């Protein structure tokens, strides 16, 4: 979906069951992606959530206010054609996952990292069967190949889910955090906070940059939308 605003061209938006899933319907017709594919989601809940974005538009359609629609467009027009490559990209994050990189000092930050991130390491070991090695500072530490394989195996082979997981991973810097969200092992707010432990610590000490905070808020909305899509795929 283009970021360019366009004039609303429909009166009603809804969802309906069709062959292969649940379609987003505009005036009773199946909506199309930018590549002209039918906008069909795997679950009714997700199709209805996407349709709600269309219904909420005013006289001018604002694509930036429609994160679920943009995610669906990406799933159907992009990820579906490059599924294994996208899964591999998500898996590559696990090789240098945010969760594994810790500071030795200051002690206050090290303690916060442990509180926020150790539960994600425990999730990886207990749920995925993947054990990860901690790194001190920014020096790269190779992770066991068996753990990386376990992460890749945990990623579902479904375009919408992969698209949402890719968004969560790239926005947070952590494949483990994204998979924990997918498995409902962590709440959305806690996950976003865990991804920003270091940044929040620095803000407390030195203050926040207004422009940087605006960018973070925008990314946070995208993160929440991707998490919402995953939840909708489960229902």
Q: Among 223, 132, 146, which residue's Cα sits nearest to residue 176? A: 132
pLDDT > 80? residue 38? yes
Task: Report whether 160 contacts 228 (CB < 8 A).
Answer: no
pLDDT for the residue numbered 3: 59
pTM: 0.94
pLDDT for the residue numbered 137: 81
- The four Cα atoms 68, 70, 71, 75 give a dihedral, to 10 degrees, of 140
How far is the CA of 184 from the CAs of 73, 101, 180, in angstroms? Answer: 25, 23, 6
Going along the chain from its start, the domains and CATH numbers come out as 6-65 (3.30.2180.10), 81-234 (1.10.3580.10)
Residue 2 pLDDT level (bands cut at 50, 70, 90): low
Give the pLDDT mean for 110-139. 95
Residue 87 pLDDT level (bands cut at 50, 70, 90): very high
What are the pLDDT digits (tens) for 140-197? 899 999 999 999 999 999 999 999 999 999 999 999 999 999 999 999 999 999 999 9
pLDDT for the residue numbered 115: 97
């Amino acid at each position: 979906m283009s970021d360019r605003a366009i004039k609303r061209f429909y009166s009603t938006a809804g969802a309906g069951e069709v062959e292969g899933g649940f379609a987003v319907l505009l005036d009773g017709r199946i909506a199309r992606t930018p590549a002209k594919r039918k906008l069909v989601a795997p679950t009714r809940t997700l199709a209805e959530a996407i349709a709600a974005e269309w219904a909420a538009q005013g006289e001018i359609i604002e694509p930036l206010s429609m994160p679920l629609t943009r995610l669906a467009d990406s799933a159907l027009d992009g990820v579906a054609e490059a599924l294994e490559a996208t899964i591999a990209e998500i898996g590559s994050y696990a090789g240098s996952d945010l969760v594994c990189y810790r500071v030795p000092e200051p002690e206050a930050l090290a303690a916060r990292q442990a509180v926020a991130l150790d539960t994600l390491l425990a999730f990886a070991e207990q749920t995925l069967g993947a054990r990860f090695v901690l790194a001190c500072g920014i020096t790269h530490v190779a992770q066991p190949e068996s753990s990386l394989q376990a992460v890749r195996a945990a990623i579902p082979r479904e375009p919408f889910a992969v698209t949402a997981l890719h968004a969560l991973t790239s926005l947070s810097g952590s494949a483990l955090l994204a998979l924990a969200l997918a498995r409902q092992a962590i709440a959305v707010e806690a996950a976003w906070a865990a991804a920003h432990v270091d940044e929040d610590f620095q803000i407390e000490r030195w203050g926040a940059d207004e422009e940087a905070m605006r960018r973070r808020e925008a990314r946070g909305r995208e993160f929440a939308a991707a998490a919402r899509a995953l939840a909708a795929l489960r229902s």
